[in-house]
Structure 1
């Protein structure tokens, strides 16, 4: 048994959708989350830059004495996971493979849609992962970069959000998909609007939530789950930008009224912290 925290990293607040599921599934585990809001979005950035930024977030979390690392970001998973994972001594979990497995299990007509950032779509990570398991499955991929901006600006429940969701998803009309992977951890914050546009016949897959189920299994496999089942897990939150917007979205999404994120600098000179 191990009472060290689990670390979660993301390009912004989207990874909080993964944390929310972790708080539900793993109530006894301590959590440390960092969102790189100062440098988002990761989607349009070159691969080497995403890798460099993800390394910085990883090093920060390792200094928090984490026992497992979760890439709560699809772009980081696509571009950096296979580079960083072999160099760490702790288990590392991404969001792409768990989401892929869930979509393959869910589809009935063998037509799967993927919406994600430009970086994730351009990497082909989801299509490759799906077709590696079943080459006969058809995958329709669509980059919807404006979704990240909607979430990070706190506009994910506004009329403008409904309009942008409809415009961005229009290319999927008539595609025949029965399953749609939300291939960015920001997108579940827009889930009601995405479901409304796609219709009830399309099943949405939350890749982040699926990743937490894998985390749960690995905690038991490596025998590193929290030892005190009476302990209510604590969560610490960090952001590389101003904590104000982070706190507003996080408090709303996680229903944590006393949430106070810390602003950090994760550059190679080493992290420094300042309270909001």
Structure 2
């Protein structure tokens, strides 16, 4: 089994790690785009071009599935990518975990990039799954960039600012950017144990296996290889990625 994950940067690590835990025998190809990141401020046409380029760069690997492990990219480029690759290669997107947060009950917040916060896409998710629930959108400027650089000081500052804009009665926070998953423990430490965090990585990994007609086999032999592309070029895992548990987990594998 061979799975490509596409993102502008290391935000894809959390989904890749979830796939690795579910299928230690799967080959994972991480296609990042350091030459053109961040994608958030770019136009829909530009984001679509970058996502298509990231997926195409890894097609020579013969993937069985492609995962768009980025909320912003999924909003803008998922359908064009599906039009190009499906039904030959299933394409899986990333949707913020608004539904499970709403099902839990209680007021919740959605932390996301400024580009995603207040977007018609996010408003549509809230309207569809959380109607009648108090939902606070919280833009987190600079947080994804700080995570990408593994800049702990800037991460703490951005998390603190977001926490200040999160109502005191918030019972849960949806992490609406895959980069935020990498600092989940830091966010929990600021918000407190009483605030549940919802991420999409596990659900995306499970959906990928479903699209492949495969089951999770966490006890399978750890034979899956790891390959990395940087804006279309074969590369090594970014040094910043190794600062996070998900990156360290993935790096401790055969590299093909």
2:177 corresponds to 1:199: no
- Who is 2:19 aligned against? 22
Structure 1 segment 103-182 matched on structure 2, within 5 A: 103-105=101-103, 107-109=104-106, 111-155=107-151, 158-174=152-168, 176-182=169-175
DSSP 3-state at the match of 1:15: helix
- Who is 1:73 aligned against? 70
Cα distance in 1 between the residues matched to 2:167 and 2:189 = 13
Show structure 2 runs of 5+ residues with no match: none
CA contact (8 A) 2:3 2:65 kept: yes
- Who is 1:189 aligned against? 182
DSSP 3-state at the match of 2:108: strand
Match of 2:54 among 39, 53, 57: 57
CA contact (8 A) 1:251 1:257 kept: no
CA contact (8 A) 2:3 2:67 kept: yes
The Cα shift of 1:230 comes to: 4.5
Match of 1:101 among 80, 99, 102: 99
Match of 2:3 among 3, 6, 19: 6
- Could you say if the C-alpha distance between residues 33 and 244 of structure 1 is closer, same or farther in structure 2, counting changes exceeding 3 Å? closer
DSSP 3-state at the match of 1:38: coil
Cα distance in 1 between the residues matched to 2:190 and 2:120 = 25
CA contact (8 A) 1:43 1:145 kept: no
Cα deviations by residue, 1:104-158 (Å, 9 ceiling, x for unpaired): 33x221x231111122224332331232234223322122131112112121xx3
Cα distance in 2 between the residues matched to 1:122 and 1:243 = 36
- Could you say if the C-alpha distance between residues 218 and 248 of structure 1 is closer, same or farther in structure 2, counting changes exceeding 3 Å? same
Structure 1 segment 205-244 matched on structure 2, within 5 A: 205-220=198-213, 230=221, 232-240=223-231
- Could you say if the C-alpha distance between residues 85 and 177 of structure 1 is closer, same or farther in structure 2, counting changes exceeding 3 Å? farther
CA contact (8 A) 1:13 1:246 kept: no
Show structure 1 runs of 5+ residues with no match: 262-276
Cα distance in 2 between the residues matched to 1:201 and 1:141 = 19
Cα distance in 2 between the residues matched to 1:13 and 1:33 = 9
Q: Under a length normalisation based on structure 2, what TM-score does the superposition of the two structures give?
A: 0.85
- Could you say if the C-alpha distance between residues 260 and 148 of structure 1 is closer, same or farther in structure 2, counting changes exceeding 3 Å? farther
Cα distance in 1 between the residues matched to 2:121 and 2:42 = 16
Stretch moving more, 44-53 or 245-254: 245-254
Cα distance in 1 between the residues matched to 2:130 and 2:158 = 33
The Cα shift of 1:35 comes to: 1.0
In the comparison of the two structures, how many residue pairs are matched?
A: 248
Q: Under a length normalisation based on structure 1, what TM-score does the superposition of the two structures give?
A: 0.79
DSSP 3-state at the match of 1:17: helix
The Cα shift of 1:178 comes to: 1.4
Cα distance in 2 between the residues matched to 1:77 and 1:104 = 21
